Amino acid sequence: MSTPAALFRVALLAHRAGDLSRAAAAYQRLMEQTGPERQEHRDALSNLGALRLSQGNAAEADRLFQAGLALAPRDALLLDNRGIALRALGRLAEAADHHRQAIGADPGQANAYANLGICLTDQGDLGGALRCLERAVALAPNNADSWHNLGMVHERLGDAAAAIRAYRRAVTLAPTHRAAWINLGVTLNDIGDSAGALAAYDAGLALDPDDAKLHWNRSQALLKLGRLAEGWAEFEWRWGGNATLAAQRRPFAMPLWSGGDLGGGALLIHSEQGWGDTLQMLRFLAPAARAANARLVVETRAELIRLIEASWDLLGLAGVDPVLLPLAAGFPGVDGLPPADAHLPMMSLPGHLGVTLDRLPGAPIPYLRAPDDSRRRWAHRIAERRNGRRLAAGLVWQGNPGHWNDRRRSVPPDALAPLLRRADIAWHSLQKDGAPVAGPLPLGPELTDFAETAAAISALDLVITVDTAVAHLAGALGRPTWLLLPHVAEWRWMEDRADSPWYPSMRLFRQPRPGDWPAVVVAVGEALDTL
């Protein structure tokens, strides 16, 4: 029979080699052959608990750690490990208490500080988490995981510079730390460093070439940098790299259009993502029909159909005559849609058509038009309200509150006060929802679909809007449009530009610093003075 020390070495070597079955069996034999008074017995309990924890069996790990602590209540490693098991079981308060006990038993236990920091992060105590993780990296400065976790806390606290330093330290210590590369890229993107973000995503992809989230994130950086051909290719990873978009993926039995000739068959193009995305992509319907040599079936939101029908000739669809259908009942289901030879999500159009900054095929601007009867009605109403003022302007200050970036892209209503005090402008609110603002004439209740909104915009001299569907609509109508952007905007508005290649009538006003809407309002006011 092997001695306890020899059996423990066998178990430990198997454990380190990843042979978990052999290691677990050896730890079990060791506990059977030794009494609780032996150190090897307690070590076997601790190591077998850690092994079960690595296998995802937190309940069994917790049982083993409790047995060990019954024998050695002040064992710092056992206390810390039981804290990890309790966190995995969702018992955060007990977990944090065990990590604190581990620190009390051994104040030099870097792992206990790190694990307490993770636990406090989960509990929302970011200040406490920060202190713990700073102590962890002070005690163990070469632990890449602790630097990564510290970076995540800095990021959640809004200190991007500190987060970037921590992530960079993590990847310096562990160049294969994929999560740190991802978070470094995301944080660099959040401060507007698209080139740096792209380099971080590339480093992550070198470790895992099939990581869908990294490909998706990479698409956003490439598109923002104007590298559209590469960006569109990466954009196709959205179905696996973005959970919100993945939930919109359609279960069509028909094949995806690959860009080839369909020989006069039917091509179904269907809307996806938000209103603005569809409005931006409508210009590519006719080029797609020509490229596919196909009859076109377009499935889109019902609120857009009347606008598209009024814009038939501008969109180049007069000779194409596509079938227009509202979104299928039960979207993202496909019930009730007609058969077709192939389908394509609308945001895949520019990639299939080879859209670059130098080559923007599609309908010229304007490519949308409001119905004649709606335009006449709104022209009369806006003219009546002008009362001799030199400008009639539309205003949108808030997007969809459910949008992931709405807290950055929407303007607090109070910030608009300097503009609304101007006596030379007749203000009209194009806002459908959101907090009310005193002053502008509220048009929202009468904007029953996008055709009505387009008619109202067509009667205005200027539209001032945040990054929402109205911006795309006004740009597609060719109306003067001033777009108010956060310091770091979405990919379609690119970087450091005051204009847009998508909409020639659009002017961009960007925050000079994150959150600085007052500076944007001042710039808009100065531009109005010279208009």
Q: H or E segment at 483?
A: strand 481-485
CB 224 within 8 A of CB 245: no
With cut-offs at 50, 70 and 90, classify the pLDDT of residue 286: very high
What rounded mean pLDDT belongs to the chain?
Answer: 93
Q: What average pLDDT does range 99-103 have in this prediction?
A: 95
**Cα–Cα distance, 332 to 249 (Å, whole number):** 7
Domain locations in the chain as residue ranges = 266-352, 372-529
CATH code of the region 372-529:
3.40.50.2000
Place of tokens 């809407």: 517
- pLDDT above 60: residue 160: yes
How much is the pTM? 0.87
Q: What average pLDDT does range 138-145 have in this prediction?
A: 97
Max mean pLDDT among 60-69, 271-280, 519-528 falls in: 519-528
pLDDT for 106: 94
CB 84 within 8 A of CB 95: yes
Percent of the chain with pLDDT over 70: 98
What phi and psi values does residue 327 have, to the nearest 5 degrees? Answer: -50, 140
Q: What average pLDDT does range 206-221 have in this prediction?
A: 95
Residues 6 or more apart in contact with residue 7 via CB below 8 angstroms: 26, 29, 30, 33, 40
pLDDT for 111: 95
pLDDT 10s digits, 381-437 = 999 888 889 999 999 998 766 656 667 878 998 999 999 999 999 999 999 876 678
- pLDDT above 80: residue 3: yes
- pLDDT above 70: residue 215: yes
Percent of the chain with pLDDT over 90: 77
Q: H or E segment at 318?
A: none
pLDDT for 362: 66
Q: What average pLDDT does range 502-523 have in this prediction?
A: 96
**Cα–Cα distance, 85 to 99 (Å, whole number):** 11
**DSSP state, residue 310:** H
pLDDT for 357: 87
Q: What average pLDDT does range 447-470 have in this prediction?
A: 97
pLDDT 10s digits, 434-444 = 667 888 999 98
Provide the 10 A C-beta neighbour count for residue 522: 14
- The pair of structure tokens assigned to 398 is 């808030």
pLDDT for 198: 97
Buried-exposed string 368-395: b where 16+ CB fall within 10 A, e elsewhere? bbbbeebbebbbebbeeeeeeeebbbbb
Q: H or E segment at 11?
A: helix 4-16
- pLDDT above 90: residue 41: no
- SS3 of 285, please? helix
pLDDT for 402: 65
Measured over the CA atoms of residue 458, residue 367, residue 350 and residue 271, the dihedral's sign is positive
- For the ranges 101-115, 130-144, 285-299, 360-374, which has the lowest average pLDDT? 360-374
**Cα–Cα distance, 199 to 188 (Å, whole number):** 10
| C-alpha neighbours within 13 Å on the C-beta side of residue 235 | 23
